[in-house]
Amino acid sequence: MLPQQSAIFAAIAFTGAVAIAVWRMSKLKPRVQFLVLLALGVSIGFLLMIVVQLPQFPHWLAALMVLVVFIASPFATRIFLRSLKQEEQDQAKESES
């Protein structure tokens, strides 16, 4: 079983990593943004697999991590779609010139 301090540290680190990834997304290229979205999706499955395979893994920690990903996903998706729209507009302007 994870010690309480380690579990709390893991929750804070995971939350911080997801927050930084979403916050920095607007400065990344659309391909990299897609990879961030993919990583968010894969992390959900990975966390659920860990919870099922390791019964001693704290369930509150898994629930918190999944909740963080579900909260961050709409923001990341919005940034990604806005970036795709901007890229499409830039290409349309280039083709008109």
Residue 66, domain extent: 4-96
How far is the C-alpha of 12 from the C-alpha of 19, rounded, in Å?
10
Residue 14 pLDDT > 80: yes
When divided into structural domains, the chain yields a total of 1
Please give the model's pTM, rounded to 2 decimal places.
0.76
Give percent above pLDDT 70 in the chain. 97
pLDDT tens-digit map of 25-68: 888 888 899 998 998 889 888 888 888 888 888 888 888 888 98
Residue 78 pLDDT > 90: yes
Q: What does the DSSP assignment read for 54-78?
A: -TTS-HHHHHHHHHHHHHHHHHHHH
Is-contact 85 77, C-beta < 8 A? no
Q: What is the pLDDT of residue 88?
A: 92
- Of 1-5, 15-19, 43-47, which has the strongest mean pLDDT? 15-19
